[in-house]
């Protein structure tokens, strides 16, 4: 990946709706070579998809929680069952395996406390969950930013 590819990726991250012609102009290429580079970045898996950023508040998701989860066992089957269950929970917008006192860190969005309580009941019914620790986000400082191109 060269500097032109990184410029193309930065342009796409800033606004996925940019046309190939606009991106080509921004990075100093003609349209055809720029389009070929974009197709190659897609084929190589560097670009794994395109997304629209939605405003959480306007979507009615007024609350964000960071939830730490510790499992009672660490057998492959138990881990797989937990991760499959999390995949099915729409409220969980990200989930990471972490080191330290807990096994997972999840970012959870909710319209209100009652909705979050219903989510917690689903999480607590999973037999492999030993401990849950929740933090309520007061306000975001930085979120959804583009990946660095350095």
Domain boundaries, the chain: 3-43, 63-136
Question: What would the two tokens of residue 89 be?
Answer: 């929970």
* pLDDT the model gives residue 147: 87
Q: Quick check: helix, strand or coil at residue 94?
A: strand
CA nearest 63: which of 140, 142, 118, 125?
Answer: 140
The verdict on domain 63-136 having CATH code 3.30.70.920 is yes
DSSP state of 90: T
* pLDDT the model gives residue 150: 77
Q: Alpha-carbon dihedral of residues 114, 119, 124, 130, nearest 10 degrees?
A: -110
With 0.75 as the threshold, say if the pTM is over it.
Answer: yes
Distance of CA 129 to the CA centre of its chain: 23
65-124: pLDDT as tens digits: 999 999 999 999 999 999 999 999 999 999 999 999 999 999 999 999 999 999 999 999
DSSP state of 44: T
Q: pLDDT-derived band of residue 25, with 50, 70 and 90 as boundaries?
A: very high
- Classify domain 3-43 at the CATH topology level: Arc Repressor Mutant, subunit A (1.10.10)
Q: 100: buried, middle or exposed (CB in 10 Å: 19+, 13-18, 0-12)?
A: exposed
- Whether the CB-CB separation of 41 and 5 falls below 8 Å is answered with yes
CA nearest 72: which of 125, 128, 132?
Answer: 128
Question: What would the two tokens of residue 138 be?
Answer: 């007061």
Rounded Cα distance between 112 and 116, Å, is 6
107-150: pLDDT as tens digits: 999 999 999 999 999 999 999 999 999 999 999 999 888 889 87
Q: pLDDT-derived band of residue 53, with 50, 70 and 90 as boundaries?
A: confident
* pLDDT the model gives residue 18: 95
Rounded Cα distance between 19 and 31, Å, is 10
Q: pLDDT-derived band of residue 52, with 50, 70 and 90 as boundaries?
A: confident
* pLDDT the model gives residue 145: 83
* pLDDT the model gives residue 149: 87
């Amino acid at each position: 990946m060269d500097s032109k590819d990184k410029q193309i990726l930065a342009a796409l991250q800033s606004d996925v709706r940019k046309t190939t012609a606009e991106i080509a102009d921004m990075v100093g290429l003609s349209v055809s070579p720029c389009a070929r580079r974009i197709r190659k970045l897609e084929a190589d898996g560097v670009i794994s998809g395109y997304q629209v950023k939605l405003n959480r508040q306007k979507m009615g998701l007024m609350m964000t929680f960071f939830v730490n989860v510790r499992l009672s066992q660490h057998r492959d089957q138990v881990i797989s069952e937990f991760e499959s269950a999390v995949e099915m929970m729409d409220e969980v917008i990200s989930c990471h395996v972490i080191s330290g006192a807990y096994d997972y860190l999840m970012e959870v969005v909710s319209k209100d406390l009652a909705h979050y309580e219903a989510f917690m009941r689903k999480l607590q019914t999973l037999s492999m969950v030993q401990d849950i620790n929740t933090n309520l986000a007061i306000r975001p400082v930085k979120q959804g930013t583009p990946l660095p191109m350095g």
